[in-house]
A and B are shown apart, each in its own frame.
Chain A
Amino acid sequence: MKTVSSISLTLGACALLFFATPRAVMAQTDCLSCHADTTMQDGSGQNVGVDAHKFGDSIHGVLQCSQCHTTIKEYPHPDQITPVKCESCHADEAAGLVGSVHASRAEHPCTSCHGDAHSIYPKTDPKSAVYPLNVPRTCGQCHGNDAMAKKHGLNNVYPMYLDSIHGFALSNEGLLVAANCQSCHGSHHILSHTDPQSATYKANVPATCGNCHAGITADYSNGVHGKAVAAGKKGAPVCSDCHTAHAIEQPTAAAFRMQSTPICGNCHKEKFSTYRDTFHSQLGSLGGYVETARCWDCHKAHEILPASDPRSPVAPANLVKTCGRCHAGANASFVQYQPHANAHSRKLNPALYYVTLFMNLLLVSVLTFFMIHTLLWLIRSRYDQVKARAAKGGKNA
């Protein structure tokens, strides 16, 4: 550390020689002769100490103090000094913040994300607060806070994210390519999802996810949902409508498969209701180690095509193959089975309608007759029993 800081000091000294201007720039050593005391406080009790080693190690360690603290030109300096303006160097980032959700510099100073001003590291450095593996924790300082979430009408997304497939890959496996907050939201120019320019605006979500999931996004764009969204239909789902934005689960995991059909059922209510009547749904609802057909097992998840499209797995010509993926020996007659038959519709499924009607009538008539029969019988035999015992002078029961 000493070597590094002395190199920095040397570099700083060189810079001073080269860029020496008429104004008197003080050397780091001058300032640090007082401020190296890390417990140092100003009149208002604010800590004004600087860890010289950390600072020397940081990305700004080559700079002289007065390059940021521009108002300090000589010693002794005034008690009140003007705040540092990062944008004097970082103009692009500052421009990005304008109009973003974090535009207020009072509420969101640069240091709220980048950490202590005197130990800022490049984002490729694991010590940096904005190193990919550290980003969720940095954002989570605010976005993992219930009170803050409530105040701004947001979800407390940090715990959701950590439990998601992205969060798991990032925190448990240290995958740098796993999506962190800024992979989807950007860093400085973060816009509300209601802003059409935002990466998280509904119509832009497929492109945002497609930055990593290019293959899936291409499939999705070919399917009915992708085409509808591209055509400007607001009701059609984008990635986050099915997968959620932050609590994204591994789609092959039981937990997601168990709740998958209700997801499609949110929009496809009638299809969901008829599916619910089938054996596929009954056993699907119970989970376990035997899997059952969920919506996308037949319809596909992303490249969803109508049955009229010959490429669709539910096109009549493809049914034997599609059903045969689970049902060994499926044949042309077997695939006449209707996975969405409506037993309540005489028009659509007359045979099923009458079978159901017959079974219901049988059930109701048999039970009704015997309920009455048994009830009368019970009353009468109890009456006789009580009478017989009373006649014998015994107890009634």
Chain B
Amino acid sequence: MPDLERVADDGGAVSGMKARFFTRFTREQRYLHAVLFTAFLGLAATGLPMRFAQTPWARRFASGVGGFGAIIFFHKMFAVVLTIAFLIHLKEIFTRGVLHREKGIFWGSTSMVANWKDVKDLVGHLRWMVGLGPKPQFERYAYWEKFDYWAVFWGMLVIGFSGYAMWFAPFFARFLPGWALNAVLVVHSEEGLLAILFIFSIHFVNTHLRPDSFPMDMVVFTGVESEEEFKHKRTQEYERLAKEGKLEQRVATAPPLWLVNFSKVVGFTAIAIGLILLVLTLSAYFS
């Protein structure tokens, strides 16, 4: 991060003391998320007109950008970008988890892999929502965040495979049965639709628009969050780190103003595009 002007924490702090910031995501992880959502928005914006080719907005969009030829070109381009991002992520997992035998990648409290606590958290969270119990306290990744992760992981495998099967149909036809060539379009478009509907409604609300984070959770852009937020949202992780004496290792500087503003612009643009696409999708689906 360039050593630019730092933001003094005089705006958001509740208490009088100077608030501390803690690292949640590395720079690589934030870049990966940025590439991921840019490619995803691109794929959604070019995929939806194909899925709903009969709607007036799809046709207007198509004639605006130069027809189907341009749409499929950009769709494939974003697909390649996302594929590369996915492969980079796999390589990182492999390097950290298998080569370096780093703890907490495949198992434990910092892993993305679901465990028994996630089941208990889900039940407990639902009970809390309807007023039947206390609010569960979450570790580094809460169950809905793990679901988001695996939904995207599975989605990329399924959508990616079916997409490449259509792109290189004569090649895939060598080992796929005939009906599979018909099925890949159904799988691709339904899974894509599920991803679009899920990300643009549920992920947006769960992560950004819910009252605890409203209007946007900046942590995936800046990489850091305030101590108050950390403690409130991921109490168990905060307490575990404090107990292990590792909290100090995670202390970071406040995000520079330009990064906060830049993140807001990028984030709100992404959310706006997503919501527009969501409205178009729903309108096409129910018309």
Contact = CB atoms under 8 A, between A and B. Distances in A.
A253 interface: no
B114 interface: no
B53 A360 contact: no
Given A359-B191, A380-B129, 5 more contacts: A279-B185, A288-B66, A328-B170, A331-B174, A356-B190
Interface residues of A, number: 51
A288 B68 contact: yes
Contacts of A281: 53
Interface of B: 49-51, 53-54, 58-59, 62-63, 66-72, 125-126, 128-131, 144, 151, 166, 169-171, 173-174, 176-183, 185-187, 190-191, 193-194, 197-198, 201-202, 205-206, 210-212
A296 interface: no
Interface in A344-377: 349, 351-352, 355-356, 359-360, 362-363, 366-367, 370-371, 373-374, 376-377
Counting from the closest, the 4 A-B pairs by CB-CB distance are: A288-B67, A336-B178, A359-B190, A329-B170
Given A282-B53, A285-B53, A333 B174 contact: yes
A333 B186 contact: no
Given A336-B179, A351-B183, A370-B198, A378 B211 contact: yes
B183 A352 contact: yes
A292 B68 contact: yes
Nearest to B190: A359
7 contacts: A287-B63, A289-B66, A338-B182, A352-B182, A377-B206, A378-B211, A385-B211
B287 to A, nearest CB: 15
Given A286-B58, A336-B173, A349-B179, A371 B68 contact: no
Interface in A147-204: none
Interface of A is mostly: helix
Contact of B202 (A292, A327, A370): A370
B182 A363 contact: no
B129 A289 contact: no
B177 A336 contact: yes
B58 A381 contact: no
A367 B68 contact: no
B186 A286 contact: no
